[in-house]
Structure formats: C-alpha cells, structure tokens
C-alpha cells in the first residue's frame, strides 16, 4: 500500500525538527506531508489524506482518532519516560521503523468507534473512547429519558457513559462497566449513580450492550447545563434535545508493526 498524503499531528507544545520531517519524507518515498499542531486541528484538515502519524501521547492519538474518516493511523510516543502511550505503536527513538510501513510490512487492527446523532444531525466526531451524556457540573443531577430496545424510562443520575472497547478500561470501568476488546463490534453503556425512588424513579435500564444495528436514545429533561461530551468537544444538550448513539460504520484503522 502506498501512502501518498500524510499528516503529522503534534502534541501541544511538541516540536519536530526539519531533519525528522526530511527523514519521514525520504522513507515515504516522496509523499506529500502536512504538519498540524494539536490545538489547530479541525476535521476538514484530514480530508484527502491517507495516513496520520501522531507524535505525542494517547491524547494526541485520540484527538486524531475521533476526527479521521478513512485514513490509517499510527501513534508515536514523544515522551516514553513520562507517558505510558498505551495507544501508540512506536517511541520517538524508533521513528526509523516507519520505513517498514512505507514498505508495506505491517498489519491493521480495527478499533471500533461510536457515532452520535444530535437532533437528527450526525456529529463530526467518531468517538474512539466514550460519549458522556449528562450535566456539565458533576454535582448537579442529570435528567433525561432513556430509550433502549423498545423500553423507556425517565432518570435522575450522574449521567450516562457510552463506551467503545478502547475506552472501556478507563472511566467506563471505574463507573462500573466491564472491559471488552477494542475490535468487538459493540458499544456498552452504564448509568452513573442512578437515583432509586419509591414509585416514580425505579430505573431498570442502567447498563447494556449496543450491538451493530442498535441504538441508545437519550432525550434531555434539563432546562440548562446539559451536555454531550466526546473527548474535548462539548455540545449543549438541554430540554427538547435528543441524542442517538450507535456503533460507527467506520472503525479506526490502526497500523501495527509486525
């Protein structure tokens, strides 16, 4: 596979010298290369590119992973002494190994992502980790109607986390969810700290798996202060707003070296 158009996405505050760019250029056999800074990145910047190289940590990788449509991606850990880099494939000292990729010597792992439709419009991000729906202030109650597999009920809780397999070992797991593989074709959701009353609020839809072809629907009942959050993108989600969350039909194509 030939990669002709490449984006290098840099962690905020990270710099890359011209010699490194030249090295990647020569290894890529003369591909077009564009360098982007983390805080300048917009979805349209990735249009038409077929490979994204992130240099930073997991946050940089996730930023790109949310915005990419069809490109392949590989992560390089810029500070392996300070960052685990669980999602990165190489360290900055191993950058010469990119030659293997340009020679076609690699495998591809698929990481499933979530798609969110807000009031009928699909949001730009394919969430690589998780989607949070609830109140922006964690000490305020999230108020919403939740609909799943033909059932619906009104909740008071600390919000809903809908996770991919990639995000499942983190916040989702801490909230009571179970870890699952990043390639499994499903999402999983958990309601955080649901309120159980005597008659009106007796929630039963508090966790579940959203399989391919299914969706979770949440309708806000908050007057203000409600949000949908995907990584560092936040959308208002208040009374009258409705969200549909389902498995994206475009998993992230992650390059793995052999």
Domain boundary among 104, 124, 156: 104
Per-residue pLDDT at 230 exceeds 90:
yes
Please give the average per-residue pLDDT across 124-150, as a whole number. 96
**Do residue 62 and residue 92 come from a single domain?**
yes
d(CA 44, CA 48): 9
pLDDT score recorded for residue 39:
80
Residues 37 and 7 sit within 8 Å (Cβ to Cβ): no
For 29, the domain range is 5-104
What is the average pLDDT across 165-174? 97
Q: Is residue 174 located within the same domain as residue 84?
A: no
Mean pLDDT score, 96-123: 97
Residue 200 predicted with pLDDT over 90: no
The answer on 55 and 142 residing in a single domain is: no
Q: What is the CATH number of the domain that holds 214?
A: 2.60.200.30
The C-alpha atoms of residue 204 and residue 198 are separated, in whole angstroms, by 13
Q: Could you tell me how far CA 127 lies from the centroid of its own chain?
A: 3
- Residues 68, 189 within the same domain: no
Q: pLDDT (tens digit, 9 = 90+) per residue, 49-96?
A: 999 999 999 999 999 999 999 999 999 998 888 888 899 999 999 999
Instruction: Tell whether 12 and 81 lie within a shared domain.
Output: yes
Helix (H) / strand (E) element for 64: namely: helix 58-67
Same domain, 141 and 225: yes
* Residue 93 among the catalytic residues: no
Cα–Cα distance measured from residue 38 to residue 85, given in angstroms and rounded to the nearest whole number: 16
CATH code of the domain in which 39 resides: 3.40.50.10330
Residues 94 and 118 in one domain: no
The model's pTM is 0.94
DSSP assignment of 70-133 = S-EEEEEES-TTT---TT-SEEGGGGGGHHHHHTT-EEEEEE--EEEEETTEEEEEEESSEEEE
Q: Residues 2, 17, 58, 249: which is the catalytic one?
A: 58
Q: Which residue has the higher pLDDT, 141 or 41?
A: 141
Neighbouring CB atoms inside 10 A of 251's CB total 18
Say yes or no: 32 and 73 in one domain.
yes
Confidence at residue 152, expressed as pLDDT on a 0 to 100 scale: 96
């Amino acid at each position: 596979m030939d990669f002709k158009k490449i984006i290098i996405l840099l962690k905020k505050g990270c710099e890359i010298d011209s010699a490194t760019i030249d090295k990647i250029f020569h290894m890529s056999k003369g591909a077009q290369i564009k360098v982007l800074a983390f805080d300048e990145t917009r979805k349209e910047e990735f249009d038409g590119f077929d490979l994204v190289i992130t240099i930073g940590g997991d946050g940089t990788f996730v930023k790109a992973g949310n915005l990419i449509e069809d490109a392949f991606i590989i992560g390089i850990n810029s500070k392996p002494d300070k960052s685990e880099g669980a999602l990165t494939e190489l360290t900055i000292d191993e950058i010469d190994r990119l030659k293997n990729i340009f020679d076609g010597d690699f495998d591809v792992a698929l990481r499933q992502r979530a798609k969110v439709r807000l009031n009928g419009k699909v949001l730009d991000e394919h969430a690589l980790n998780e989607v949070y729906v609830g109140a922006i202030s964690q000490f305020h109650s999230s108020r919403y109607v939740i609909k799943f597999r033909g059932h619906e009920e009104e909740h008071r809780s600390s919000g809903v986390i809908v996770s991919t397999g990639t995000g499942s070992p983190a916040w989702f797991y801490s909230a009571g969810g179970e870890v699952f593989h990043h390639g499994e074709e499903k999402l999983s959701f958990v309601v955080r700290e649901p309120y159980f009353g005597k008659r009106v609020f007796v929630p039963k839809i508090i966790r579940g798996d959203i399989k391919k072809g299914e969706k979770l629907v949440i309708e806000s009942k908050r007057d203000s202060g409600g949000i949908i959050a995907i990584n560092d993108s936040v959308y208002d989600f208040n009374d009258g707003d409705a969200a549909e969350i389902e498995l994206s039909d475009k998993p992230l194509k992650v390059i793995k070296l052999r």
